Structure 1
Amino acid sequence: MSAPNPLKSPELEFKSLLLLVLVATVLFLLIIWPFFGAVCWAVFISIVFWPMQQRFVQGSHGRRNMAALGSLTVTLLIVILPLAMIIASITSEASVLVEKMRSGEIQLAQYFQRMLDALPDWARSMLRRFGMGDLAPLQQKLLATLSTSGQVLTSRVVGIGQVTLDFIVAFFVMLYMLFFLFRDGEQLTQSIARAIPLHPQHTRRLLTQFATVVRATVKGNIVVALVQGALGSLAFWVLGLPGAMLWGAVMALLSLLPAVGAAMVWAPIALYYIFTGALFKGVGLAIWGAFVIGLVDNVLRPILVGKDTRMPDYLVLVTTLGGIVVFGLNGFVIGPVIAAVFLVSWEMLASARQQTTIPPQ
């Protein structure tokens, strides 16, 4: 009887297959990495608007191409184009504000000095101990920095809103992928579920939690951020603050951080008005920020996000910050999604271990 051929061992073939899958996956990720943001947002948008796609499929009697085209058109008209117009307006306002800072029309150090002069003596003496009692050197450094790097800063701010070749390519890649995700999303999900080497029950739970967190994070955070940014811009415009739309956009970005984001913009401005003697403006802005802008976060976010994510606020905050640091702006979705997958995977592991340790009755 001949000895078995070691090159045809099932174990060797399985390990070779795993190595091939690993190498191919790494190379695939390297290839699509330049379009990582476009791919992520195509996946996120398709998950958020998947119920609309299902209704279009039913209305078109199963013609998925027509349904996907309708979903893509609606998404483009109600989400992507309005956001592009808002970003263009904010960019224009930012370039004007930076130019005013360079020309000296707006002097931040002067505003800080006014607030310091309104402080009591004990507070000013404490600031002097930390070297912050005299802001004249700080103002000179600020003006020198603006004069030397103002052109670079202005070009970067304006460049955000300019249509570049990279942006055009990434934008059309996202739209192209979004169409096929709408059309073939169900088949892709089934293929992914079959490929994941987990128990079918665990696979369904993992994919369901992934879709739930993406839908809740994108829908809840973006809507809350837009509403809070709009309310902030309205308040700043009424108060006559320069760059009201820009500061509203900053508030919208910081609103992606649960509970604390929006207050990081309106609270310092309200304190500035109060310290400089504009009590009506300061108290009015504080009331508006606490009871109107804050109410949006406390009421609207739970309605949109719901309790399906089952993640505490502190974990959402930390993972959002970490995601933004690691993945950029895309991280405000990727961070909570990774946290949700982390929690679900450990819960499934704990459940599986508990089932194996329970003795049979």
Structure 2
Amino acid sequence: MNNPVFSQKERNIIILLIVLTLGGILLYATRGIFGAFLGTLVMYTLFRTLNIFFIEKWRWPKPLSAVVIIILSIFIIVLPFVGIGSMLVRKAIELQENPVWIKQIIDAINKFAGDTLGKPDLLKEQLQSSAAYFGTLLTAVLGGAANVFIEVTVMYFILYFLFINYQGFESGILYYLPFDEEQAVVFGSELKNITYSNIVGQTIIAIVQGGCLAIGFWIFGVNDALFWGVICAILSFIPLLGPPLIFVPATLILLSQGQTWQGIGLLIWGFGLVINIDNVLRFIINKKIGNIHPLITVIGVIIGLPLFGLIGLVYGPLLLAYFLIAVKIYKANKRLSLKREQLEKRKE
């Protein structure tokens, strides 16, 4: 019998190279729907407990449980995003059709800044310095919105099969993860806490802050209070920095129109109440659910918006948090390996 060309070790290396090459090709081919895979992970983490409850406690058939959860998630998560997107598009069209209104506001703010601060072109300078960045960002957000239907469809398709085969899926994850069982449990627990903190916790903060600012706008006579409350809720995903992007310009508009007390009142309302809602609720959520540092959220949003569009407000911080969890588990795994090596050397 002829000797084989390759040894067993060489065969294994060649097979590994083939697997890595094909895996790289597949990753490249699916790069456009990466958000769907990340969304699947997030949705599975959020609704895993409910799926197990339906199947094991209420004895529902697995397909029924999966379909009910998917329908429920569409009403809770997808439809509100669609509604917000439609509102933003309508408002953008309205502003585009009425550019005179925008110019009047800019001129009024510049006049106020010139009379008060001695900088008549303050707003013009700020707009010019940020126009390039926000133009690129807007293009990315709209591009992400155009791709969202495909991503949502793929996400729910994968999610359905994960829900009906959750035991096999989780067993496979435990088997292939490069951690021991104890570290895998820690990884899963932290993944769940971070996801709940960022999705559930941040959504609560956004709704409360947006509602509070909408009430403030209504009290102090700012037009379209509900719309700007929704915008504030979206920007609330950026800790501390988001809401002031709404109420500070609104304050300048009121002051430029001669409504001094309303402007001062709105500024106090914003910094005294709206901002502190973030601090108080975030502290409570960090104690009850999980802790995401505000810096991670801000950096995650900067990364996520160009990559995923509007949903990047959620996906960006989550992706960064997941990366940091993986690094943390890697360090723990490395320490454990070193301890085992030291014990083996002592035995020898």
- TM-score bracket, shorter-length normalisation: 0.7 to 0.9
Give yes or no for contact 1:325–1:331 (8 Å, CA) kept in 2.
Answer: no
Q: Is the counterpart of residue 265 in structure 1 residue 265 in structure 2?
A: no
Matched with 1:336 is 321
Q: How many residues align?
A: 335
1:189 to 167, 170, 193: 170
Secondary structure of 2:98 counterpart: helix
Q: Is the counterpart of residue 204 in structure 1 residue 185 in structure 2?
A: yes
Give yes or no for contact 1:90–1:245 (8 Å, CA) kept in 2.
Answer: no
Q: Which amino acid aligns with 1:289?
A: G
Describe how 1:277-292 pairs up with structure 2 within 5 A. 277-292=258-273
Distance in 2 separating the partners of 1:242 and 1:197: 55
Secondary structure of 1:230 counterpart: helix
Matched with 1:43 is 41
Matched with 1:116 is 113
In the alignment, structure 1 segments of 5+ residues that lack a partner are: 128-132, 146-151
Give yes or no for contact 1:60–1:67 (8 Å, CA) kept in 2.
Answer: no
2:274 to 279, 283, 293: 293
Which deviations, in whole Å up to 9, do the C-alpha atoms of 1:154-175 show, x marking residues without a partner? Answer: x989x7899x6x5443332222
Deviation at 1:67, TM superposition (A): 1.1
Deviation at 1:44, TM superposition (A): 1.0
Which stretch shows the higher mean deviation, 240-249 or 327-336? 240-249
Q: Is the counterpart of residue 180 in structure 1 residue 179 in structure 2?
A: no
- TM-score normalized by the length of structure 2: 0.79
Which stretch shows the higher mean deviation, 169-178 or 322-331? 322-331
Give yes or no for contact 2:187–2:325 (8 Å, CA) kept in 1.
Answer: no
Secondary structure of 2:165 counterpart: helix
2:87 to 70, 79, 89: 89
Matched with 1:74 is 72
Distance in 2 separating the partners of 1:357 and 1:311: 35
Distance in 1 separating the partners of 2:226 and 2:63: 39
Give yes or no for contact 1:41–1:174 (8 Å, CA) kept in 2.
Answer: yes
Matched with 1:7 is 6
Distance in 2 separating the partners of 1:218 and 1:280: 37
Matched with 1:148 is none
Give yes or no for contact 1:43–1:181 (8 Å, CA) kept in 2.
Answer: no
2:203 to 222, 228, 243: 222
Give yes or no for contact 2:62–2:164 (8 Å, CA) kept in 1.
Answer: yes
Deviation at 1:231, TM superposition (A): 2.7
1:64 to 44, 51, 62: 62
Which deviations, in whole Å up to 9, do the C-alpha atoms of 1:128-157 show, x marking residues without a partner? Answer: xxxxx3579x59x99xx9xxxxxx99x989
Deviation at 1:114, TM superposition (A): 3.2
Q: Which amino acid aligns with 1:346?
A: K
Distance in 2 separating the partners of 1:270 and 1:348: 52
Q: Which amino acid aligns with 1:110?
A: D
**What RMSD, in angstroms, separates the aligned Cα atoms of the two structures?**
3.8
Secondary structure of 1:317 counterpart: helix
Distance in 2 separating the partners of 1:224 and 1:75: 20
**Alpha-carbon spacing, 1:226–1:53, altered in 2? closer, same or farther (3 Å):** same
- TM-score normalized by the length of structure 1: 0.77
In the alignment, structure 2 segments of 5+ residues that lack a partner are: none
Deviation at 1:61, TM superposition (A): 0.9
Identity of matched residues, %:
20
**Alpha-carbon spacing, 1:352–1:216, altered in 2? closer, same or farther (3 Å):** farther
Which deviations, in whole Å up to 9, do the C-alpha atoms of 1:172-225 show, x marking residues without a partner? Answer: 222222322322233212212211233232233223322332232122223322
Matched with 1:149 is none
